[in-house]
Amino acid sequence: MKFLNGTYYCKMDSKGRIMLPVELRKQLADLEIDGFVLKRAVFENNLEMHPLSEWEKLMAKLNKLNKFKKKNIDFLTRFLAGVRNVNIDGTGRLQVPKDLVEIAGLKKEVVIASAINILQIWDKDTYEQFLTESTENFSDLAEEVMGDIDDE
């Protein structure tokens, strides 16, 4: 899997279609054939777009959960709520289903941000508010998350 890069400011039309920038489409070219999975994010009010190959790896992990444990079923039900298979059409647009538009509070201006092997789709104002609020503690978070990684 190649890693996705970039933050893209886009417009969404009244039917929930987002025209993807050319630079992003170039990165997605090899992945477009299989399609993508679109779902609500776990921690923030945004959507996640997973290349189908990455989604299948995640589903293989989740399939190992014991389905006779209520907490596992509760997690799966919530995690998979609203999941949709999506494709990029011939003109480079992504159709976001109406229920997912509402769940993520997407309006006309959206941000598509890379997150290593997936894309996040945010309402522009929500994204900018998230970045502003999290900036104060980002150095502490960076140290906590990355501080113990030794590349050698």
103 three-state secondary structure: helix
pLDDT computed for residue 151 by the predictor: 66
Residue identified by tokens 């998350």 is 145
pLDDT tens per residue across span 73-103: 999 999 999 999 999 999 999 999 999 999 9
DSSP code of 68?
T
Mean per-residue pLDDT, 110-128: 97
For the chain, domains (ranges, CATH) are: 7-124 (3.40.1550.20)
Query: In this prediction, what percent of the chain has a pLDDT beyond 90?
Result: 83
Its pTM stands at 0.91
Residue 136 has pLDDT above 70, yes or no: no
Euclidean distance between the first and the last CA atom of the chain, given in angstroms as a whole number: 23
Q: Residue 118's closest CA among 38, 10, 25, 17? A: 38
pLDDT in tens, 37-56: 999 999 999 999 999 999 99
